[in-house]
């Protein structure tokens, strides 16, 4: 696990003063050539380390200026993608939505793209995000993987006891948010057996290297208030205590992090009553996205 995997990896981009039509069925190379002619450079920051091979795979990113001092939000942003091959036709465009509610300065753009095989994939961003002076474009390379160590969408959730307010189960502190979050009323193993859907997050607000665990825990806690009588919400810390965290990434793991083979954090799972995982999000997610995915669990 690398802890702060969210917001890792930079790729450059450009902004142009006048919008040009993009060639139909263009290759990624021709799109770049078309967009590159009269542009001012900005950067694309990858908000996940890799993508999952699946239809509607979630790709997320932030957009900042070249100096890294100005972060863009909102506006109109479209996404093209292709496997790393300059001669392959680009897929898209599709619209990327900005998600920032409850995340403060950690807001991101999110798009759902179809990834059909494990490879490195180029993602091209083009549009006019809020705060930009004109049209922008940028590129980033995302590795796509067919499998992750922990449960992926379609797999079954792993039943494991997690700390509650009444029983910390040897994890101290049981929650490093200040004050402790409200999602420690029920242990995960109990939640998975009570017939309700479950939203489960593993993350450590105090020791999170990406600095997004705290905001995401609070986002999910905010949404939990609207679903408390229908959905279980469970938070588990990454480390079993604060003595070796975050240096000891293996022996210092809490039981849930070990059982779920944690590689990245924060990571949030949406789980149906039959314990099938429907979604897995690494890194930032905002109130609107969490609410939508949680509502989908209820049908």
Q: What is the pLDDT of residues 124-170, one digit of tens each?
A: 999 999 999 888 898 999 999 999 999 999 999 999 999 999 999 99
Cα 262 from chain centroid (whole Å): 14
Distance CA 22, CA 127 (A): 11
103 pLDDT higher than 80: yes
> In 3D, which of 145, 63, 43, 67 has the Cα closest to residue 111?
63
Distance CA 231, CA 199 (A): 7
> In 3D, which of 12, 1, 263, 16 has the Cα closest to residue 135?
16
Whole-number mean pLDDT of the chain? 89
Give the angle subtended at the CA of 215 by the CAs of 209 and 219, to the nearest 5°: 145
Q: What pLDDT was estimated at residue 42?
A: 80
Q: Which residue has the tokens 């939508």?
A: 292
- The band of 221, judged by pLDDT with boundaries at 50, 70 and 90, is very high
Pair 288, 226: CB distance under 8 Å? no
Q: What pLDDT was estimated at residue 87?
A: 79
Cα 129 from chain centroid (whole Å): 20
pTM of the complete model: 0.90
Cis previous bond, 246, omega within 30: yes
The token duo for 43 is 């950067």
Count of CB atoms within 10 A of residue 62's CB?
A: 22
Higher pLDDT, 31 or 223: 223
Strand ranges (DSSP E) for 36-129? 39-46, 51-52, 54-65, 75-83, 91-95, 97-99, 108-115, 119-129
Q: What is the DSSP string of 129-165?
A: ETT-SSEEEEEEEEEEES--SS--TTSBPPP-----S
7 pLDDT higher than 80: no
- The band of 24, judged by pLDDT with boundaries at 50, 70 and 90, is low
Distance CA 222, CA 211 (A): 18
The token duo for 150 is 């922990």
Read off the pLDDT of residues 72-90 as tens digits, 9 standing for 90 and up: 999 999 999 999 887 788 9
Domains (ranges, CATH) in the chain? Answer: 10-145 (2.60.40.10), 188-297 (3.40.30.10)
Read off the pLDDT of residues 273-296 as tens digits, 9 standing for 90 and up: 999 999 999 999 999 999 999 999
Pair 275, 265: CB distance under 8 Å? no
Q: What pLDDT was estimated at residue 245?
A: 79
């Amino acid at each position: 696990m690398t802890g702060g995997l969210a917001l890792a990896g930079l790729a450059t981009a450009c902004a142009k003063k006048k919008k040009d039509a993009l060639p139909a069925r263009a290759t990624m190379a021709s799109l770049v050539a078309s967009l590159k002619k009269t542009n001012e450079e900005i950067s694309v920051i990858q908000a996940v380390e890799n993508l999952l091979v699946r239809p509607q795979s979630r790709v997320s990113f932030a957009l900042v200026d070249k100096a890294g001092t100005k972060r863009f939000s909102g506006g109109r942003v479209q996404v093209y993608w292709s496997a790393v091959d300059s001669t392959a036709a680009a897929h898209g465009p599709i619209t990327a939505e900005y998600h920032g509610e409850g995340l403060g300065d950690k807001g991101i753009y999110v798009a759902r793209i179809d990834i059909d095989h494990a490879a490195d994939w180029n993602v091209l961003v083009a549009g006019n995000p809020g705060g930009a002076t004109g049209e922008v474009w940028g590129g980033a390379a995302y590795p796509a993987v067919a499998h992750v160590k922990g449960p992926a969408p379609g797999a079954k959730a792993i039943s494991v006891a997690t700390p509650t307010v009444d029983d910390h189960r040897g994890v101290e502190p049981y929650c490093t948010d200040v004050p402790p979050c409200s999602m420690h009323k029920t242990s995960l193993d109990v939640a998975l057996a009570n017939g309700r859907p479950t939203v489960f997050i593993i993350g450590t607000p105090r020791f999170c290297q990406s600095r997004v665990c705290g905001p995401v825990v609070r986002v999910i806690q905010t949404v939990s208030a609207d679903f408390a009588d229908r959905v279980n919400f469970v938070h588990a810390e990454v480390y079993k205590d604060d003595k070796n965290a975050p240096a000891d990434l293996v022996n210092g793991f809490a039981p849930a992090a070990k059982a779920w083979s944690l590689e990245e954090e924060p990571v949030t799972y949406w789980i149906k009553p039959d314990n099938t995982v429907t979604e897995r999000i690494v890194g930032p997610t905002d109130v609107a996205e969490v609410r939508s995915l949680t509502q989908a669990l209820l049908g």
